[in-house]
Amino acid sequence: MTPQKRHAFYAALRAANPEPKSELVYHSPFQLLIAVILSAQATDRSVNAATGALFERAPNAARMRALGVAGLKPFIRTIGLFNTKARNIIECCAQLLERHGGQVPADRAALEALPGVGRKTANVILNVAFDQPAIAVDTHVFRVANRTGLAPGKTPRAVEDGLLAATPAEFLSHAHHWLILLGRYICVARRPKCPVCPVQRWCEYPDKTPA
């Protein structure tokens, strides 16, 4: 995809959704961090269903750490891998309190040092909570980047690097959400909804689904 096409691609996404937002419900960087940890191999809907009561009971690191693993599990039992996630979250809260005064750090290395936080989660926090130019590559973003020709790559990191290089600076703040939402609702895995896709004109997918 040429630079001109990439610019037009993102401009079309911006025109369709000027201010995209995360579908996770949160009210602080800490709550976003917990929601993203819980969202691994789970839907945003299932996470939101669990975190409503959880965040009311434990809105910050100190309150959540006080729950302990046993106290946290009942809130997240409906989410996949909840046993592992409960342990990681409680230890994450302990480290936030001990090393960062209970606040979520705006630094990649510090984020990735937290239990349950890998590169993808760190990218979400850096971009959404701190407005840094980071793009988290989940299955949706990976598919969109490869299928459309925007930033092909064989691994999530290769796609991430390609997207950061290919995305014009004016679009970096929202690129993460535009690509996730495009993959989640239009450029879906089995039968992409090409006739209603806002970027179909610039997409290089050879088998566009006919109207």
To the query of whether residue 138 is one of the catalytic residues in this protein, the response is: yes
Per-residue confidence band for 208, with pLDDT thresholds at 50, 70 and 90: low
Average pLDDT of the residues in 12-33: 95
Average pLDDT of the residues in 91-109: 96
The C-alpha R_g of the chain, in whole angstroms, comes to 18
62, 77 contact by CB (below 8 A): no
Tally Cβ neighbours within 10 Å of residue 164: 14
pLDDT at 1: 85
List, as one string, the DSSP characters of 111-169.
HHTSTT--HHHHHHIIIIIT--S-----HHHHHHHHHHSSS--SSHHHHHHHHHHHS-G
pLDDT reading at 86 higher than 50:
yes
Domain boundary among 92, 110, 129: 129
Domain count of the fold of the chain:
2
Q: Which long-range contacts (CB under 8 A, 24 or more apart) does 76-79 make?
A: 76/38, 76/50, 78/46, 78/49, 78/50, 79/38, 79/42, 79/46, 79/47, 79/50
Q: Which of 120, 154, 193, 207 is catalytic?
A: 120
Per-residue confidence band for 209, with pLDDT thresholds at 50, 70 and 90: low
Classify residue 203: in a domain, yes or no.
no
Expressed as residue numbers, the domain containing 9 is 3-20+134-196
Judgement on whether residues 79 and 140 belong to the same structural domain of the protein = no
To the query of whether residue 107 is one of the catalytic residues in this protein, the response is: no
From the number of C-beta atoms within 10 Å of its C-beta (0-12, 13-18, 19+), residue 48 rates as middle
Domain boundary among 98, 129, 160: 129
Classify residue 104: in a domain, yes or no.
yes
Q: Which of 138, 154, 207, 208 is catalytic?
A: 138
Per-residue confidence band for 144, with pLDDT thresholds at 50, 70 and 90: very high
Classify residue 201: in a domain, yes or no.
no
pLDDT at 211: 44
Which DSSP symbol is given to 105? P
160, 137 contact by CB (below 8 A): yes
